[in-house]
Amino acid sequence: MRLLGNDTDAREVLQEVFMSLVANPSQYAGRGALTTWLYSATTNACLNRLRDARTRRQILERSGPPEPARVETAPDDAVELRRLLARLPEDLARVAVHHHLDAMTHEEIASIMGCSRRHVGNLLARLAAAAEGLS
């Protein structure tokens, strides 16, 4: 809900994640806790939805009629955050969500993302550099 900004999209993503797990249970390899896998899969699905929405807007702007104006119910900062996340590479968007929105430690992020704490630090440094470039 915090990433997508509305309850309907959040529920759809959650349903998609669980349906995906039912259809293909082997995607959860059992290397960590199921809740960790669910959290990571849900975050990825939300980020993918944000990117897909951005891609659709770009295609419509180039080839179709303008998209009807929508009234945003989220604060301006949240809308801008979603736009920025959609523009970042997946690994940077994930580390941004985990670190800045969920206030996770480097160790927690490393566990969720399946990498080292040092790599998390490197990703956060790249994120800071990318944020300056997007501003």
Segment 19-74, tens digit of pLDDT? 998 998 888 888 888 888 898 889 889 888 888 777 666 666 676 554 444 444 44
What is the average pLDDT across 65-92? 67
**43 occurs within a structural domain:** yes
Mean pLDDT of the chain: 82
Instruction: Give the pLDDT confidence score for residue 68 in this predicted structure.
Output: 44
pLDDT, greater one: 2 or 60: 2
Q: How many CA atoms lie within 13 A of 58 on its CB side?
A: 9
Residues with Cβ within 8 Å of residue 107, at least 6 apart in sequence: 117
Number of folded domains that form the chain: 1
Q: Where residue 132 falls among pLDDT bands split at 50, 70, 90?
A: confident
Residue 111 Cα to chain centre, angstroms: 17
**42 occurs within a structural domain:** yes
Cα gap 70→96, rounded to integer Å: 26
What is the average pLDDT across 15-22? 91
**1 occurs within a structural domain:** no
The answer to whether the beta carbons of residues 54 and 87 sit under 8 Å apart is: yes
Instruction: Give the pLDDT confidence score for residue 117 in this predicted structure.
Output: 93
Q: How many CA atoms lie within 13 A of 95 on its CB side?
A: 24
Cα gap 8→28, rounded to integer Å: 26
**49 occurs within a structural domain:** yes
**60 occurs within a structural domain:** yes
Instruction: Give the pLDDT confidence score for residue 72 in this predicted structure.
Output: 45
**41 occurs within a structural domain:** yes
**103 occurs within a structural domain:** yes
State the amino acid at position 50 in one-letter form.
Answer: L
Cα gap 43→17, rounded to integer Å: 10
pLDDT, greater one: 75 or 73: 75
Q: Domain range holding 93?
A: 7-134
Q: CATH no. for residue 63?
A: 1.20.140
Instruction: Give the pLDDT confidence score for residue 67 in this predicted structure.
Output: 46
**66 occurs within a structural domain:** yes
